[in-house]
Structure 1
Amino acid sequence: MTMSLSSFLKNPRIVVKLRRRAWDLDRRLLLLILFPISLLLVIASLSPFSAAVRSILGGFASPPPGNESTTLRRSRIAVCLVGGARRFELTGPSIIQNILGVYPNSDLFLHSPLDSNAYKLSLLKSAPRIAAVKIFKPTPIDETEARRRVLTAAYSPNGIQGLLQYFNLVEGCLTMIEDHQRKNNFTYDWIIRTRVDGYWSGSLREDHFIPGRYVVPSGSSYRGLNDRFGIGDFNTSTAALSRLSLIPQLDAAGYKLLNSENAFKAQLETQKVSYSVRHVPFCVVTNHRYEFPPSSPFYVPVAEIFSRSPLNGAKCKPCTPFCGGSCVGSVMGGLEDGWGWSGWGNDTLRLCDANADWEEGWEKLFDRGVGKKLASARKRVKSLDFGRCVNDFEVMKGKTTSWVAPPEAEICSLGIS
């Protein structure tokens, strides 16, 4: 009797046999696929074939070293750069190399006052991505009763007005970022806030980026928190960068006579923002004079710019070190504890005699320390003429989404005769 196809397939014995044959076939096919891949992976671990095999395998091979921060590198990052361009020929190239060049999705936001050094900002034409630039003519900021109660003129070279101008620079950059986000309908994952006068000897680490926490440098805390640099996600950064608009809240909370660092710490605490302290490889290049050797526990050390210490935003300049080893220990050990000096042990910090102007021949010291690439940028600014300055700003403007600044010729004419 002939069996129909449907009856044949419903026969339990036949179904079991078919399933076994299908499983055997699947297993053979799997082994056929896996064997050559396994063989290639073994060969890939052996030199000299490893590079070639990895290129063939692509995604199957292990990722090359240094790609641990792939997620971070893909994040949208706003770099908020604020302040005057005093020594930007020294600091600018290091910012481009160690901050802007490291994160492909980072956008630069520049907020800087117009002065005789602003022409040096033309170096930023080499920045990979520029979202917004604002170069403005500073005007006095109203010193309200609340601002006079909360802030102190002590330790501020330009009194309360100096603090307000600094706070305006910082919060103004946040405003630029928020405007850019609204226009483009997105929110940055991270905001890096740093200074125009900061020299970077290295890059940031992945552990500088902590969701829900604002990261600040160690040291230079002046009984508060070091406010010369910061990293946070958008929410924590909004609280950290709102330096002017949060003063009424500090006043309402009863805070009085705060310096910049005190006010910064109080600001985070009133906004219930957690913070973390990390070593950060940058220093603030200074033209100021400070007595040496110190006669006060409130002395401000000036580090040699190439000290092996991470420096954490300490004042620095290129110099022939005047004090190292045990000398540094005796100087730093005599300073006020509450000011929070850090990173000077193990002979990693060298100090300059900042009692006078920069020493003759500092250019050679700097060029030797930074190498040919960064040295060439310094030399380029030194030899910059008016025409090239204007052209560089035009190139920079062409790369920028939002440009608010005086005419390029006006910026260049203030510093180049």
Structure 2
Amino acid sequence: MGRWLWIRKRQWFGLVLLLGLAGILCILQMEIIPISEQPFLPLITVQAHLYNYVHVHAANGVSEKNSTQTATKKNRTAICLIGGARKFELTGPSLLEYVVNMYNNSDVFLHAPLDNDTYKFSVLKEASSGLAEVRIFTPQRINETTLQAEVFTSNGSPNGLQGLLQYFNLVEGCLTMIKSYQTKHNVEYDWIVRTRVDGYWNGPLPSPETYSNKSYIVPVGSEYKGLNDRLGIGDMETSEAALSRISLIPLLHESGYRKLNSEAAFQHQLDVKGVNYTLKTFPFCILSEHKYIWPIPSWGVPVASISSKEDLNGAYCRPCTPVLKGTGAMTYIEKRLRRPWSWIVPTPGIELCNARDEWKENWEHIFDEAAGPKFSAVRHKFKNYTVTDCIIDFEALKQKTTDWDAPPPETICNIHFQHSQID
């Protein structure tokens, strides 16, 4: 009896060993054969296999966040910031947090005019990976031609046709800088993001994986009978069509377009180049000191509070105590604003300002409450900012910039502080 039990145990041991070896072979086969070619693999097994695959990498020191950043590296992104720095102590921190520092594999370009506020760009020294190129130039008047005057209308432009041309020059300068940088440094960009430095962001820019290289991506709303031109995202081909704001003026004229505003010209230049566009929502607004009529007429311009909790898609905003919010603001937008003009998406979190006057005296408190301590700290820093602080910070920015096409830090800083002493 004892011998029989011993024989049975050996048989069972052999069977278990055989099954174990078979299991190992199956696992090895799974690693070799793609899951898509294992038609009879149970779903729960596939899920477990994928779970183990992901977490093996995590166990080897690749966290979930790093895994996402590694995936993002497949797409190299150029981020171009344009415009004057007049409110950059308010918008800069959010731009850094939610746009500039969002991607590991990105190069940042700055194209801006030199003026009394340029010193505020020292905030960009906090860019996590530095900047590819900084181009700060002394603005020069752009010659206005009869052809340009026929294609565009100056209605709605604070500085007339010259203002439009200066803006277009900033935009197209992005394309020039990026293409030159590609050639000079032997890099190639999958995506180009172009946005304004006066944009206040309350959420992150979507990752490149959400983009489509078959169309140019722009924010919904604020269309003014064209397309919202306050942000644009596309590959090199679509971006070349979108950013060529001056070069394509002759083609617009040849195609018969006349008396266009900036937004309409933007849409038509995509049309004449055969580029499709996609409308998406984005969590940013344009911080503005302009005054607008209240109550808002159907052709008027809505101004949102920066405390709004929804995507504002580049609509104008300011720090204010809202006069309408929630359902009241939504109803107001739906009933009063013309859809193809200044319309903004009516959502439960939107808040509207009465923008017929200057910013209120308590705007700083309102801003700090909405922005939070991290973003508002920069505003407080600039209250006691000295020329020495400015030069030190700009030198740090210059050291983190690959190509510096701008005046020396001393020049940039002295323009502001000497002007302040005169005042």
| TM-score range relative to shorter protein | 0.7 to 0.9
1:364 deviates by: 2.0
Q: 1:401 to 1:64 in 2, by over 3 A?
A: closer
Q: 1:193 to 1:33 in 2, by over 3 A?
A: same
Q: 1:190 to 1:26 in 2, by over 3 A?
A: farther
| Structure 1 counterpart of 2:122 | 122
Alignment match of 1:292 (pick from 279, 291, 294): 294
Alignment match of 2:281 (pick from 276, 279, 282): 279
| Structure 2 counterpart of 1:113 | 113
1:187 deviates by: 1.6
| Structure 1 counterpart of 2:232 | 230
Q: Distance in 1 between matches of 2:58 and 2:154?
A: 65
Q: Distance in 2 between matches of 1:348 and 1:56?
A: 37
| Structure 1 counterpart of 2:358 | 357
Q: Aligned AA for 2:93? A: P
1:186 deviates by: 2.4
What does residue range 129-168 of structure 1 map to in structure 2 within 5 Å? 129-168=130-169
Q: Distance in 2 between matches of 1:231 and 1:389?
A: 32
229-238 vs 65-74, which moves further: 65-74
Moved over 3 A (4+): 24-27, 32-35, 53-59, 63-74
Q: Aligned AA for 1:304? A: S
Q: Distance in 2 between matches of 1:121 and 1:56?
A: 38
Q: Are the aligned partners of 1:109 and 1:173 in contact in 2 as well (CA < 8 Å)?
A: yes
- 1:67-126 CA distance string (max 9 Å, x none): 567533442111010001111011111111111211011111000111111110010011
Q: Are the aligned partners of 2:72 and 2:104 in contact in 1 as well (CA < 8 Å)?
A: no
Q: Are the aligned partners of 1:150 and 1:256 in contact in 2 as well (CA < 8 Å)?
A: yes
Q: Aligned AA for 1:104? A: N
Alignment match of 1:333 (pick from 328, 332, 335): 335
Q: Are the aligned partners of 1:218 and 1:340 in contact in 2 as well (CA < 8 Å)?
A: no
232-241 vs 207-216, which moves further: 207-216
| Structure 1 counterpart of 2:21 | 28
- 1:27-49 CA distance string (max 9 Å, x none): 828628959x9xxx99xx9xxxx
Q: Aligned AA for 1:147? A: Q
Q: Aligned AA for 1:250? A: L
Q: Aligned AA for 1:169? A: L
Q: Are the aligned partners of 1:77 and 1:189 in contact in 2 as well (CA < 8 Å)?
A: yes
Q: Are the aligned partners of 2:305 and 2:353 in contact in 1 as well (CA < 8 Å)?
A: yes
SS at match of 1:339: coil
Q: Distance in 1 between matches of 2:72 and 2:27?
A: 33
What does residue range 52-67 of structure 1 map to in structure 2 within 5 Å? 57-58=59-60, 64=64
Gap regions ≥5 residues in structure 1 = 1-23
| Structure 2 counterpart of 1:20 | none
Q: CA RMSD in A?
A: 2.9
1:54 deviates by: 5.8
- 1:213-246 CA distance string (max 9 Å, x none): 1100000000100000010011111111010001
Q: Aligned AA for 2:106? A: S
261-270 vs 370-379, which moves further: 370-379
* 2:393 maps to 1:392: yes
Q: Distance in 2 between matches of 1:309 and 1:94?
A: 15
Q: Distance in 1 between matches of 2:172 and 2:56?
A: 48
| Structure 1 counterpart of 2:38 | none
Q: Are the aligned partners of 1:94 and 1:200 in contact in 2 as well (CA < 8 Å)?
A: yes
Gap regions ≥5 residues in structure 2 = 1-16, 31-43
Q: Distance in 2 between matches of 1:57 and 1:355?
A: 58
User: Across the two proteins, how many residue pairs are aligned to each other?
Assistant: 380
Q: 1:307 to 1:341 in 2, by over 3 A?
A: same
Q: Distance in 2 between matches of 1:229 and 1:324?
A: 25
* 2:187 maps to 1:186: yes
Q: 1:369 to 1:55 in 2, by over 3 A?
A: same
Q: Are the aligned partners of 2:69 and 2:104 in contact in 1 as well (CA < 8 Å)?
A: no
Q: Are the aligned partners of 2:72 and 2:105 in contact in 1 as well (CA < 8 Å)?
A: no
Q: 1:399 to 1:333 in 2, by over 3 A?
A: same
Q: Are the aligned partners of 1:220 and 1:313 in contact in 2 as well (CA < 8 Å)?
A: yes
Q: 1:133 to 1:66 in 2, by over 3 A?
A: closer
Q: Aligned AA for 1:213? A: S
| Structure 1 counterpart of 2:379 | 378
Q: 1:201 to 1:378 in 2, by over 3 A?
A: same
SS at match of 1:338: coil
SS at match of 1:161: helix
Q: Aligned AA for 2:232? A: G
SS at match of 1:193: strand
Q: Are the aligned partners of 2:130 and 2:397 in contact in 1 as well (CA < 8 Å)?
A: no
What does residue range 63-74 of structure 1 map to in structure 2 within 5 Å? 64=64, 70-74=70-74
330-339 vs 152-161, which moves further: 330-339
Q: Are the aligned partners of 1:321 and 1:351 in contact in 2 as well (CA < 8 Å)?
A: yes
Instruction: Calculate the TM-score normalised by the size of structure 1.
Output: 0.84
Q: 1:340 to 1:364 in 2, by over 3 A?
A: closer
1:409 deviates by: 1.9
- 1:123-162 CA distance string (max 9 Å, x none): 0011122000111111111111211111111111111111
Q: Aligned AA for 1:31? A: I
Q: Aligned AA for 2:186? A: N
Q: 1:277 to 1:56 in 2, by over 3 A?
A: closer
1:335 deviates by: 2.2
Q: Are the aligned partners of 1:193 and 1:231 in contact in 2 as well (CA < 8 Å)?
A: yes
Q: Are the aligned partners of 1:208 and 1:278 in contact in 2 as well (CA < 8 Å)?
A: no
Q: Distance in 2 between matches of 1:333 and 1:56?
A: 52
Q: Distance in 1 between matches of 2:230 and 2:58?
A: 47
Q: In percent, how many aligned pairs have the same letter?
A: 46
